[in-house]
Structures are given as C-alpha cells and as structure tokens.
C-alpha cells in the first residue's frame, strides 16, 4: 500500500493547526539546511526541534477534538 502525500498534512500536536512552517537557515548567502518545523499559530517548536505528526486530512477535526479533550482532563 502506498501513501499518497496529498492526502496527509503535518499538524501541530499542541494546538491542531496545519499552518506548519519549515525554517531554513541562511548562512553566508547559502541555505544551510533545515532549522526545523514550527507552528505559526502557537509557535510550538520555535525553541526546539520537534517532529510534527502527519495525519490524513480527513482526520483533522478528530485530532483537534482529541487535543481539546486532553486539555480538559
């Protein structure tokens, strides 16, 4: 079974946003590779390198609901 990457999206495990930015560091005018991902909504991952889960787009609402339930408990 192959995974179609168009059906998946990175999501923030803290707030549920899919607005994940890949930071690239520029050193001496050249791209020095990835500085890591961070969430543009809540800034999760700005101060450390973290791995954002990739989920099916159809599961976004369910994922956000789970996050909210964990915050309430």
- Successive 10-residue mean pLDDT values, the chain, 73 residues: 74 95 68 73 88 94 92 72
Q: What's the alpha-carbon Rg for the chain, to the nearest Å? A: 14
Closest residue by Cα to residue 41 from 15, 67, 63, 61: 15
Write down the pLDDT at residue 73.
66
pTM: 0.74
Sequence-ordered list of residues with C-beta below 8 angstroms from that of 43, at least 6 positions apart, any chain: none
Write down the pLDDT at residue 61.
96
Q: d(Cα 14, Cα 42) in Å, to the nearest integer? A: 8
- Sign, CA torsion 37/42/45/48: positive
Q: d(Cα 20, Cα 12) in Å, to the nearest integer? A: 7
């Amino acid at each position: 079974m192959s995974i179609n990457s168009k059906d998946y999206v990175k999501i923030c495990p803290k707030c549920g946003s899919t607005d994940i930015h890949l930071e690239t560091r520029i050193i001496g005018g050249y791209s020095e590779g990835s500085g890591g991902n961070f969430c543009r909504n809540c800034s999760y991952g700005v101060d450390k390198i973290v791995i954002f889960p990739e989920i099916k787009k159809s599961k976004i609402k369910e994922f956000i609901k789970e996050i909210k339930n964990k915050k309430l408990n």
